[in-house]
Homo-oligomer: A and B are copies of this chain.
Amino acid sequence: MSNKSNNNETQHAAGNGLLHRRSLLKASALGLAGGFLLPAKADWRSVPGAPQSTYGSPSKFADLRREQTIGHPFGPAAGSSSTPLQSLNGTITPNSLHFERHHAGIPNIDPAKHFLTLYGDVKTSLRFSYESLLAYPMESHKYFLECSGNSYRNTFPTAQNLTAGSLNGLISGAEWTGVPLHYLLDEAGLEKDANWIIAEGADASGHTRSIPLHRMLDGAMVALFQNGEPLRPAQGYPMRLFVPGCEGNISVKWLSALKAQKTPAYSREETSKYTDLLKDGTAEMFSLEMEVKSVITSPSGTMQLNRKGVYEISGMAWSGASAIRTVEVSADGGKSWATALLQSDNQPNALTRFRIPWQWTGQPSVLQSRAIDQKGNVQPTRDVALQRYSAGSFYHYNGIQSWQVSSDGMVKNVYV
């Protein structure tokens, strides 16, 4: 779909203003007469500022907060909060803004009184303190974590006019550091036929999930650090299971027990919840891997474009199956697509930032992104994504997100 415009400086990558990055971009510098110019003096140039601190915080001018999306009527502590995707850039979610999902609130665990027990079909049962785990070999990897219910509001019959974070913010990205599980399983010695590991958290919900052994041997870790510092309580302090590429709830927080056994546990949270009701009336269990997906985070829902001209369209893509191969962007509701630039450190099961310049002429436009992973999985349209599931089923929704830009510059969620 590439074609050159008459203007030598601008090269179009797809319809309705998507540009090649090599275009000469004059995004929005403010007009100014040439010549020598002294910077304006402001209050903060005249008096010393605040001193250093032990643990820093954001500017009061930056409006950074997770959005409260659910609070259970009978248990306000059992809920979730979303990452404000529209306020962020890059591929890391700061720990203070990582999404939360708790089934019985956030326990305040003293690591000196917390242990991880590894038992069941093993040759030697083992118990690990926090201190003892710190002595094991560790690894650090950038991984996404996504709630299986992320973007559930886009399964509703009517498009909700909300922010990118409120709609799609049960996804975050971090560098996770911990002890690969194979070290611990090797030390305990698995019995033959121990094909499942049952993970239990120390919170008041007794959150328990069954995970196939092969996932535990292939990249799973007991995570102890997130973005450099010890896990936050909301993320499982002092230790959590982390299973890359899979729905968040199997990366059991406040991890207290791992039991090896022949069969799944069929726990409450994998029967009453986290099971997918399909169109044909059957239920799919242990659908753990998260599908290929992307969302444009800027421009995005409830934003306002204040001028015509060049903007950077930017967003995030991820897949539980592999690394991201390509992200395509459309500015004309899917009629034409251009390939976005991906960040260079695109790793398997990690958030990938994509970017493409866009020249907005003031015309009504529909912005979309479509991710394709290294295994060739393609993010589906909303209609196709909904086809597989029964009405009311809302896990694992990965349809294309459409943002409509009106001629007045308002951006909102639409179904196209």
Taking beta carbons and an 8 Å cutoff, which residues of A are in contact with B?
21, 24-30, 32-37, 39-40, 42, 44-62, 64-66, 68, 71, 75-81, 87-98, 100, 102, 104-115, 117, 119-120, 123-129, 131-132, 134-142, 173, 175-177, 183-184, 186-187, 200, 202-204, 206, 224-225, 227-234, 237-238, 254, 256-257, 298, 306, 309-312, 314, 343-345, 347, 353, 355, 357
Given B53, B61, B64, which contacts A55 in the complex, CB threshold below 8 Å?
Answer: B64
Docked-complex contact A256 and B39, CB < 8 angstroms? yes
Given B28, B45, B238, which contacts A202 in the complex, CB threshold below 8 Å?
Answer: B45
Docked-complex contact B80 and A177, CB < 8 angstroms? no
Docked-complex contact A53 and B81, CB < 8 angstroms? yes
Pick from A56, A108, A132 the residue with the most CB of B within 10 Å: A56
Q: In the complex, what distance in Å separates the CA atom of A54 from the CA atom of B101?
A: 13
For this chain, the copies found in one complex come to 2
Contacts of A231 in B (CB 8 A): 59
Complex A-B, nearest 3 residue pairs according to Cβ-Cβ distance, in ascending order:
A49-B105, A44-B107, A54-B65
Docked-complex contact B229 and A94, CB < 8 angstroms? yes
Docked-complex contact A66 and B45, CB < 8 angstroms? no
List 8 extra interface pairs beyond A59-B232, A59-B237, A94-B229, CB under 8 A: A55-B66, A58-B233, A59-B233, A61-B111, A62-B229, A97-B228, A135-B311, A227-B227
Docked-complex contact A229 and B51, CB < 8 angstroms? no
Closest to A206 in B: B45
Docked-complex contact A64 and B135, CB < 8 angstroms? no
Docked-complex contact A49 and B106, CB < 8 angstroms? yes
